[in-house]
Structure 1
Amino acid sequence: MNLKDLAASLGLSQTTVSRALNGYPEVSEATRKRVVEAARRHGYHPDSRARSLATGKAMAVGLILPQTAKQEIVNPVFTDFVAGASETLAERGYDIVLSIVADADQSAVYRSFAAKGRVDGVIMQAPLTGDLRIAMLKQLGLPFVVHGRVSDHDDEYSWMDIDNRHAFYRATAHLLDLGHRRIALLNGLEAMDFAHRRRHGFLDALKERGVRASPDLMASAAMTEGYGYAEASRMLCLPDPPTAFLVSSMMIALGADRAIRAAGLTVGRDVSLVTHDDALSYLSNDTDGIPIFTATQSSVREAGHICANILLKLIDEPDAAPVQTKLEASLIIGPSSGPAPN
């Protein structure tokens, strides 16, 4: 089906259909949704080159992944985020340009994007504490949104994040309420801003209850199943082992769960386990509607949708003020957490 046929099937002009698919503000939201749904139903895909010529835009969004994080390509968190962002961008006819580059080359790629007009904006992933990319992107004048935040100047740029600090404060408080005092933290890399905030939420909850944080019960590394297994195994062999683990991802949780069982212990009875869960499509914390782990839960696919919508707004309205969206994670109680053993 071509544009003429799609317009005829809807009883609309080709101009109206084209403007609806391109997100022009003069087309009502009801009409836009009707056109987008009909295009999806009939399998109509506008020619991106023609749309680029018509709009003066590249009709593409950039997503740069550092080589040090290339394992993220097969990480279900990354793939779910890209899936969510792609769904929203595709509705407006935008493609995603994915580049995997050496850490030192990131600035050059962003500058190339801006200079050559290859993309209309970028989604910045994996922000670090004090990340220098924020200032560079602002200087380039390239519309951008950050998936996450960079501490100290949250009000100066557009971002979408969950409240990581509060999520881990709540999770730690839950374990403290159950009587746990030896609580281990298996965090992600703490140079990453989200992990930095999670650590502070964990420490805040302990301090509030007068519980001393034990350095031997805190670890930080790339979030893999092997890391979860190795660190949980090490900690369970300590003279005074933890009675509970709070971990930063489902992958770490699977490794910690394996270590607990290998030690002859029962999860939820002998040792509690709480994880952060991104409501992933391919690694679900759910069996027939019943959670596997107690978890602080947020949808990373929804985060992709939100980031894409923020970026599209910034592309359409270059003078718009920065847009910030902070979501709360839900605390889902499952069988993996229980009272501290006597």
Structure 2
Amino acid sequence: MNRPGKVTQRDIARIAGVSQAAVSMVLNGGESAANRIPAETRERVFTAIRETGYVADPIARRMAAGRNQILGVFTYEPAFPSAQADFFAPFLLGIEEAAQELGYDLLLMTGSSGGQKKIFGENVRLRLADGCLVLGREFDRDELERLVAGDYPFVAIGRREDAGGPVPYCGGDYVSATTALVTRAIGMGHKKLAYIGPVAGAESSVDRWQGFRATLGGGAEMVARLDAVLPTPDDMLEAILGCGATLAVFTELSDAVKVRGLARARNFDVPRDFSIIVLGRHERAAETGTRFTTFRIPREEMGREAARMLVRRIEGDTAVEQVLLECERIEGETLAAVTG
């Protein structure tokens, strides 16, 4: 596959078997003009563009290095609604800081107006950027494999399993952070543990579960496990109290907040009656009113380092880098030693 900037519209026309005017109309004529081109013809043009890596940007072609100094940012989930904004904002802050430092602009890719968001779409805006940072709780595996197989520079934010080859990423070391936090609790006398959260699916869930399982044995046992997707706060609290757990380990702060509030309403005290730890502090707009014992996910640092990694790939065609950053422990007020 050719590098972006080495292919002309004439090449695209020849490969697609259409006129150069048709290629120009598809790329530059707007939606109404492009719609006058038959769908089959448009698809041949888009296929040729994807296969060659053509960049529909004359400024980029005029630059000596063949680059336009733009980093793309693609999120599988909406980045700005209130439910997600505080999750994504630190990543974006770190990305912006690194981009400014390195002399790059940012292009936020919003995708299509309806349906599931896709990196590879007919609008081919991906190629307007020199490379792309990809964020999301869960990735489309087919698209990830396509990125790995191609020559378009990208870096994932968050650890990702191989997808037909190693994936370049910068993530948080959730395995080590979880193991350290739970081990600390066990050292304070907690031997009966309840785990509330998913154990499969996204790599972040798998990593937390792996870190938790590494602490079991030597007297510590898991006496309850609930997937936080289905149970209600009542179900979670009843499971914790019913199994005699002295420590409840939550993967999601929102679930811990609900259970602690319900426990307080029923005259149970945290951490006197049972302790709570949360496997990663998720930024929220609403104040929880409680300082949970947890660890800080270095989101801003992840965004910053991922952007630097991407620029290294763009400018030096470096080997695949896979980086995990340390998560800092936050003591909080919801973990106490077992008494009696």
* TM-score normalised to structure 2 length: 0.69
Which residue does 1:219 correspond to in 2?
A: 227
Answer yes or no: is the 8 Å Cα contact 1:68–1:103 preserved in 2.
Answer: no
Amino acid across the alignment from 1:209: G
CA 1:107/1:93 → structure 2, altered by over 3 Å: closer, same or farther? closer
> Which secondary structure state, in structure 1, belongs to the residue aligned with residue 124 of structure 2?
helix
- Of residues 222, 242, 245, the one that matches 1:239 is 242
Counting only pairs closer than 5 Å after superposition, residues 135-284 of structure 1 correspond to structure 2 as: 135-151=145-161, 156-188=166-198, 190-206=200-216, 208-214=217-223, 216-221=224-229, 229-236=233-240, 239-278=242-281, 280=283
**Which range moves more in the overlay, 266-275 or 326-335?**
326-335
Please give the alpha-carbon distance, in whole angstroms, between the structure 2 residues aligned to 1:201 and 1:69.
Answer: 28
Answer yes or no: is the 8 Å Cα contact 2:298–2:325 preserved in 1.
Answer: no
CA 1:153/1:205 → structure 2, altered by over 3 Å: closer, same or farther? farther
> Which secondary structure state, in structure 2, belongs to the residue aligned with residue 200 of structure 1?
helix
Could you list the per-position Cα deviations for residues 89-143 of structure 1 after superposition, in whole angstroms to 9, with x for gaps in the alignment?
Answer: 23423113232567765253399345xx222211122364993433210223111
CA 1:228/1:173 → structure 2, altered by over 3 Å: closer, same or farther? farther
Counterpart check, 1:106 vs 2:105: no
Residue 210 of structure 1, CA deviation: 4.4
Please give the alpha-carbon distance, in whole angstroms, between the structure 2 residues aligned to 1:324 and 1:314.
Answer: 12
Please give the alpha-carbon distance, in whole angstroms, between the structure 1 residues aligned to 2:77 and 2:320.
Answer: 29
Residue 258 of structure 1, CA deviation: 1.5
Which residue does 1:327 correspond to in 2?
A: 325
Q: Unmatched 5+ residue regions in structure 2?
A: 1-56
Residue 57 of structure 1, CA deviation: 2.9
Please give the alpha-carbon distance, in whole angstroms, between the structure 2 residues aligned to 1:68 and 1:105.
Answer: 9
CA 1:281/1:74 → structure 2, altered by over 3 Å: closer, same or farther? closer
Please give the alpha-carbon distance, in whole angstroms, between the structure 2 residues aligned to 1:72 and 1:66.
Answer: 16
Residue 320 of structure 1, CA deviation: 0.8
Which residue does 2:308 correspond to in 1?
A: 309
Answer yes or no: is the 8 Å Cα contact 2:172–2:298 preserved in 1.
Answer: no
Larger-gyration structure (1/2)? 2
Amino acid across the alignment from 2:168: S
Which residue does 2:98 correspond to in 1?
A: 88
CA 1:127/1:294 → structure 2, altered by over 3 Å: closer, same or farther? closer
> Which secondary structure state, in structure 2, belongs to the residue aligned with residue 106 of structure 1?
coil
Answer yes or no: is the 8 Å Cα contact 2:59–2:68 preserved in 1.
Answer: no
Could you list the per-position Cα deviations for residues 210-240 of structure 1 after superposition, in whole angstroms to 9, with x for gaps in the alignment?
Answer: 44434x4332439xxxx7845533424x532
Could you list the per-position Cα deviations for residues 142-162 of structure 1 after superposition, in whole angstroms to 9, with x for gaps in the alignment?
Answer: 111111122357982321112
Residue 249 of structure 1, CA deviation: 3.7
Residue 71 of structure 1, CA deviation: 6.1
Residue 241 of structure 1, CA deviation: 4.1
Counting only pairs closer than 5 Å after superposition, residues 111-150 of structure 1 correspond to structure 2 as: 112-114=124-126, 117-126=127-136, 128=138, 131-150=141-160
Identity of aligned residues (%): 18
Residue 81 of structure 1, CA deviation: 1.1
Answer yes or no: is the 8 Å Cα contact 2:79–2:85 preserved in 1.
Answer: no
Q: Unmatched 5+ residue regions in structure 1?
A: 1-47
> Which secondary structure state, in structure 2, belongs to the residue aligned with residue 124 of structure 1?
strand
Residue 186 of structure 1, CA deviation: 2.4
Pick the structure with more helix per residue. 1
**Which range moves more in the overlay, 292-301 or 140-149?**
292-301
Answer yes or no: is the 8 Å Cα contact 1:143–1:311 preserved in 2.
Answer: yes
Could you list the per-position Cα deviations for residues 290-337 of structure 1 after superposition, in whole angstroms to 9, with x for gaps in the alignment?
Answer: x922212232111111111111111112x2111221122222323210
Which residue does 1:42 correspond to in 2?
A: none
* TM-score normalised to structure 1 length: 0.69
Amino acid across the alignment from 1:333: E
Which residue does 1:64 correspond to in 2?
A: 74
